[in-house]
A and B are shown apart, each in its own frame.
Chain A
Amino acid sequence: MNCILAGMPGSAAAMLPLATVPIPEEWQWLFFPLLLCCFLCLYRVAAGPTAPDRTVAIDILGTLVVGFCVIVALVTGIDFFMNIAIAWALLSFVGTIALAKYLEGRGFDE
């Protein structure tokens, strides 16, 4: 991941550690419960009997990915993932509101 981000602008500042003592590599196991949560949400997306079930699962998946991005930023020390988390939170909200209005069966300008 270091070599991927080496050419990006601002990557010198991005490689500063986020904490005084960097989180040890063993804390990568924090990823696995969140991955389990993401797969449970994908199961509900695939198996949901109605359209609102799938919409709820997509909304919750978006919220989970925000937390996942924050943990990635803490473990790897790349602060760019915090910006991704903020953008993902806002875009997930907009997408969920659009799907909910579509479910309600009305126009978007009402």
Chain B
Amino acid sequence: MSNHEIIGLAAIIIGICFDVVGCIGLVRLPDIYNRLQAGTKCVTFGTCGILIGALIMCDRPEIAFKALLCAIFVLATSPVAAHAISRGAHRSGVKLWKGSVMDEYAQDKEGQLPGDQTEAE
């Protein structure tokens, strides 16, 4: 095997390890916000590792460009989706885990005047 294939396979294997750790966190952690933290960060980095490995391994430039484009899509969309889910969960009234120490979004919403319909960002 040539040099760049070894580097690409190393990137793919690192990415798969991050995916496995993220999914174990998705199953094991106690509440929705912790699961979101573990799952989204680890799985985004792991999938980007797989895509960067494919980018390094491929010799045909159009495939490498597709891998790069897909990595950019995943990096741009996954944090936005995680933020939207956590905001929707908090607004639909999902309670935090009993060991949580901070809830700044609820504190910001308490600071609003009653009847004020603007959002506390």
Q: What residues of chain A have their CB less than 8 Å away from a CB belonging to chain B? A: 16, 18-21, 23, 27, 30, 33-34, 36-37, 40-41, 43-44, 50-53, 55-57, 59-60, 63-64, 66-67, 70-71, 73-74, 79, 82-83, 85-86, 89-90, 92-93, 96-97, 99-105
Contacts and interface: CB of A to CB of B under 8 A. Distances in A.
A43 B19 CA distance: 16
Given A52-B94, A56-B36, A89 B77 contact: yes
A44 B26 CA distance: 7
B73 A86 contact: yes
Nearest to A21: B1
A87 to B, nearest CB: 10
A21 B5 contact: yes
A98 to B, nearest CB: 10
A101 B22 contact: no
Given A52-B94, A82-B70, A33 B19 contact: yes
B70 A70 contact: yes
B35 A44 contact: yes
State which size class the interface on B falls in: 35 or more
B10 interface: no
A66 to B, nearest CB: 6
A19 B57 contact: yes
A100 to B, nearest CB: 4
Nearest to A37: B23
A100 B81 contact: yes
User: At the interface, is chain B mostly helix, strand, loop or mixed?
Assistant: helix
B22 A60 contact: yes
Contacts of B85: 52, 55-56, 59, 96, 99-100, 103
Contacts of A41: 23, 26
B67 A82 contact: yes
Given A57-B26, A63-B74, A64-B47, A50 B67 contact: no
Given A63-B47, A67-B46, A100-B84, A56 B19 contact: no
B31 to A, nearest CB: 9
Contact of B40 (A23, A53, A59): A59
Contacts of B60: 16, 18, 79
B121 to A, nearest CB: 14
